[in-house]
């Protein structure tokens, strides 16, 4: 045993001598990394220790640039203090990733060296095996997770990413050298290619960032371009029905459940729509209401994550790997309901509110409520849950005083509300589950409809926007119970859905005002139970809109430009969609000069959470939005 120990010591003395002969131990950084190779440890242990050192040094660099990207895409909500906390989290998560990456590169070089011997370029090649994928990852993170901050920001990030990748690759160089020594016992000749050469090799990949197609720059403050609005004599009412599709309408047509809706279709124009399955309602409806894709409007899910130590939520989809994965599995993140604090682009009611009073009720990502320049009302998606819980208002309406008025109206209408429910649903088969689910959807939609009708009584309001999620909630919850409940549950589900659609048809099938006194835009989306084959639709009715016209399939991003066109607003250069050219009134749209931008929605920098968040999260779980 002693002889074996002396033999090992002799071997490492020989390695030390060869390292010194070839100039490896002349600098502190090289002595720091390669001293493991001259210790009396096994080759594998020495390589792992060297990889651990490289990971510990590289993790803060990688964590720092990833934290920079996370803060940038979540600004102004995340500040310097939040950035430091995120930096620590990302550095901790990056360390094991770099450790594995360094060991992998060293293993590849060790296998090669075992076959053909140690070469002078082995260390440089190991640095490339780590630096190239790392730089490619950083470029993709910036390109995919950020909407585009302009040339200066892209340049600064590219330079920073290049420096980080080169540094981490340089550290990996020593791990690969250690792997070659451990595999062959040979010390490769010190190559001439150094840190500068590694940087130059990585430079083209960093420069490629500027060649990738990017979303338009949607960050920062941008004032609205001044514009004028054509006079439209009738108010516009926009109704969004979640959970309704063409096949459901067709199936219920023969049963008389959608007579008013069918009559309105004959009197107006219908445009089919398609949607991708698996998308969550906030993303779908925010795209419809803004005319912008999710990577621009920033609303993607019904919930958001908050890291321990960070005071504001991180937008879904904005956190880079490994943070994104860790938020779901490793870090004890706190989940909060989705808000509008990340949304920088304006919705239809906010664009309309630049020139005319508008009213909006119940939309996703509308909290915290903000006043429109031209006046009007906003009732956020949090207002009704707070009324049910008898909680106090907290930026749930605009103006703020509207919340008290809604609370009074809600209390006064309880008897009428219950009477209507019994009149429509009281004769369904008795049971505990289905009536309860019906009642919850009914209460949500009835509040929204009652509120928007009240707000539209204000003669100053020229457009109203109301969201009805009840049918989608009911479909999702009922269909999830049919298999477990057997044939009886299937029959009850069919009856409940038919009766609920019939109630909706009676409430809004022909609009919210008498025919001829409004421009109706009814948007139906198949909802969460959609599998990909269902079609939604956009129904238009009003002065000048063709009767019985079936238009082409509309992209969701065309809906907002279509509504703005009907309002008499000019098109915006930022909206990629355009209104269809058929079925619509012969408006003087071609003579309306396009505006550069409708401006940005003001983002709050504080107060982005609420004491009501935990209770709202429980409500979202009960309604089936969060599992």
pLDDT tens, position by position, 561-587: 999 999 999 989 888 888 888 898 765
Which of 334, 458, 301, 448 has the alpha carbon at shortest distance from 381? 448
Calculate the alpha carbon distances from 81 to 173, 245, 431 in Å: 34, 47, 54
Tell whether 271 and 202 lie within a shared domain.
no
Token couple for 560: 């907002």
The whole-number average pLDDT for the span 84-91 is: 86
The segment with the largest mean pLDDT, out of 18-32, 246-260, 486-500, 577-591, is 246-260
Question: What is the count of structural domains for the chain?
Answer: 2
Tell whether 388 and 432 lie within a shared domain.
yes
Tell whether 381 and 521 lie within a shared domain.
yes
Please tell me the predicted confidence (pLDDT) of residue 37: 59
> Residue 231 falls within a domain, yes or no?
no
Q: Tell me what percent of the residues of the chain surpass a pLDDT of 90.
A: 40
Pick from 177, 211, 245: which residue ends a domain?
A: 211
> Residue 11 falls within a domain, yes or no?
yes
Domain limits for position 506:
236-302+338-622
- Higher confidence at residue 43 or residue 255? 255
Please tell me the predicted confidence (pLDDT) of residue 119: 80
The contacts of residue 130 (CB under 8 Å, 6+ apart) are 98, 101, 102, 105, 168, 169, 172
Tell whether 240 and 206 lie within a shared domain.
no
Euclidean distance between CA atoms 196 and 381, whole angstroms: 55
Tell whether 284 and 410 lie within a shared domain.
yes
User: Is residue 394 within 8 Å of 411, Cβ to Cβ?
Assistant: no
> Residue 322 falls within a domain, yes or no?
no
Q: With 60 as the cut, is the pLDDT of residue 40 above it?
A: no
Pick from 160, 177, 211: which residue ends a domain?
A: 211
Please tell me the predicted confidence (pLDDT) of residue 244: 95
CB crowding 81-106: b at 16 or more within 10 Å, else e: ebbebbbebbbbbbbebbbebbbbbb
Tell whether 254 and 180 lie within a shared domain.
no
> Residue 241 falls within a domain, yes or no?
yes
Euclidean distance between CA atoms 471 and 252, whole angstroms: 14
Euclidean distance between CA atoms 455 and 537, whole angstroms: 26
0.85 exceeded by pTM: no
Euclidean distance between CA atoms 81 and 52, whole angstroms: 28
Report the SS3 class of residue 385: helix
User: Is residue 20 within 8 Å of 37, Cβ to Cβ?
Assistant: no
The whole-number average pLDDT for the span 282-301 is: 89
Tell whether 134 and 274 lie within a shared domain.
no
CATH code at 439? 3.40.720.10
Euclidean distance between CA atoms 213 and 195, whole angstroms: 30
Q: With 90 as the cut, is the pLDDT of residue 136 above it?
A: no
> Residue 170 falls within a domain, yes or no?
yes
Within the chain, how many helices (H) and strands (E) appear?
21, 11
Which phi-psi region, left, alpha or beta, contains residue 318 (left: φ > 0; alpha: ψ -120 to 50)? alpha
Q: With 70 as the cut, is the pLDDT of residue 324 above it?
A: no
pLDDT in tens, 352-400: 999 999 999 999 999 999 999 999 999 999 999 999 999 998 899 999 9
Please tell me the predicted confidence (pLDDT) of residue 47: 84
- Higher confidence at residue 517 or residue 578? 578
Q: With 70 as the cut, is the pLDDT of residue 589 above it?
A: no
Token couple for 342: 């990340």
Which of 333, 364, 416, 312 has the alpha carbon at shortest distance from 525? 364
Cβ of 531: how many Cβ atoms within 10 Å?
8
Tell whether 477 and 347 lie within a shared domain.
yes
Please tell me the predicted confidence (pLDDT) of residue 3: 43
Which of 285, 293, 295 has the alpha carbon at shortest distance from 365? 285
Which residue matches tokens 């009886």? 488
> Residue 221 falls within a domain, yes or no?
no
Q: With 50 as the cut, is the pLDDT of residue 4 above it?
A: no
Tell whether 189 and 296 lie within a shared domain.
no
Tell whether 457 and 376 lie within a shared domain.
yes
Q: With 60 as the cut, is the pLDDT of residue 211 above it?
A: yes
Start-to-end C-alpha separation, the chain: 61
Tell whether 111 and 256 lie within a shared domain.
no
User: Is residue 466 within 8 Å of 518, Cβ to Cβ?
Assistant: no
> Residue 315 falls within a domain, yes or no?
no
> Residue 228 falls within a domain, yes or no?
no
User: Is residue 500 within 8 Å of 438, Cβ to Cβ?
Assistant: yes
Euclidean distance between CA atoms 321 and 324, whole angstroms: 5
pLDDT in tens, 604-627: 666 677 889 889 999 999 998 987
Tell whether 351 and 409 lie within a shared domain.
yes
CB crowding 124-133: b at 16 or more within 10 Å, else e: bbbbbbbbbe
Confidence of residue 488 (pLDDT cuts 50, 70, 90): low
């Amino acid at each position: 045993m002693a002889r074996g120990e002396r033999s090992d010591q002799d071997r490492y003395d020989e390695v030390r001598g060869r390292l010194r002969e070839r100039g490896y131990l002349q600098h502190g950084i090289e002595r720091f990394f390669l001293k493991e190779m001259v210790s009396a440890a096994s080759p594998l242990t020495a390589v792992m220790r060297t990889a651990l050192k490289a990971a510990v040094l590289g993790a803060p660099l990688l964590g720092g640039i990833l934290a920079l990207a996370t803060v940038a895409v979540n600004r102004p909500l995340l500040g310097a203090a939040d950035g430091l906390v995120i930096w620590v989290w990302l550095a901790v998560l990056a360390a094991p990733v770099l450790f594995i990456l360094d060991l992998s590169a060293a293993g590849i070089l060790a296998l090669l060296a075992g076959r053909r011997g140690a070469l002078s370029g082995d260390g440089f090649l190991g640095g490339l095996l780590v630096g190239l994928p790392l730089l490619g990852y950083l470029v993709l993170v910036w390109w995919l997770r950020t909407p585009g901050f302009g040339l200066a920001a892209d340049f600064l990030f590219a330079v920073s990413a290049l420096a980080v990748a080169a540094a981490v690759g340089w550290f990996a160089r020593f791990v690969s050298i250690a792997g070659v020594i451990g595999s062959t016992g040979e010390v490769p000749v010190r190559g001439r290619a150094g840190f500068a050469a590694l940087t130059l090799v990585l430079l083209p990949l960093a420069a490629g960032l500027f060649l990738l197609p990017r979303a338009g720059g949607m960050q920062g403050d941008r004032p609205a371009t001044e514009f004028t609005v054509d006079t439209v004599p009738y108010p516009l009412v926009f109704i969004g029905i979640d959970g309704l599709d063409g096949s459901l309408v067709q199936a219920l047509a023969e049963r008389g459940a959608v007579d008013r809706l069918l009559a309105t279709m004959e009197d107006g124009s219908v445009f089919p729509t398609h949607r991708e399955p698996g998308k969550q309602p906030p993303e779908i409806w925010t795209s419809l209401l803004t005319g912008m894709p999710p990577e621009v409007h920033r609303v993607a899910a019904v919930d958001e994550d908050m890291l321990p130590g960070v005071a504001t939520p991180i937008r879904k989809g904005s956190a880079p790997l490994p943070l994104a994965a860790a938020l779901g599995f490793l870090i004890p993140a706190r989940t909060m309901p989705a808000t509008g604090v990340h949304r920088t682009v304006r919705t239809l009611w906010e664009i309309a509110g630049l020139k005319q009073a508008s009213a909006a009720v119940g939309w996703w990502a509308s909290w915290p409520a903000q006043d429109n320049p031209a006046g009007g009302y906003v009732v956020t998606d949090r207002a009704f849950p707070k009324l049910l819980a008898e909680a106090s208002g907290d930026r749930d309406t605009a103006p703020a005083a509207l919340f008290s008025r809604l609370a009074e109206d809600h209390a006064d209408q309880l008897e009428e509300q219950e009477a209507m429910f019994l009149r429509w649903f009281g004769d369904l088969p008795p049971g505990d589950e289905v009536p309860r689910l019906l009642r919850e959807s009914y209460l949500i939609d009835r509040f929204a409809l009652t509120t928007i009708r009240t707000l539209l009584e204000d003669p100053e309001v020229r457009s109203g926007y109301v969201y009805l999620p009840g049918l989608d909630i009911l479909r999702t919850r009922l269909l999830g119970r049919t298999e477990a409940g057997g044939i009886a549950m299937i029959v009850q589900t069919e009856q409940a859905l038919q009766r609920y659609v019939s109630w909706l048809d009676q409430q809004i099938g022909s609009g919210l005002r008498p025919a001829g006194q409004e421009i109706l835009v009814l948007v139906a989306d198949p909802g969460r139970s959609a599998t990909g084959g269902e079609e939604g639709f956009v129904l238009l009715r009003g002065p000048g809109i063709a009767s019985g016209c079936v238009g082409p399939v509309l992209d969701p991003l065309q809906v907002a430009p279509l509504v703005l066109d009907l309002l008499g607003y000019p098109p915006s250069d930022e909206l990629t969609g355009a209104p269809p050219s058929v079925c619509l009134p012969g408006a003087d749209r071609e003579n309306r000069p396009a505006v550069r931008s409708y401006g940005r929605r003001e983002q709050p920098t504080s107060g982005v959470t609420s004491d009501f968040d935990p209770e709202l999260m429980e409500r979202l779980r009960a309604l089936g939005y969060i599992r």
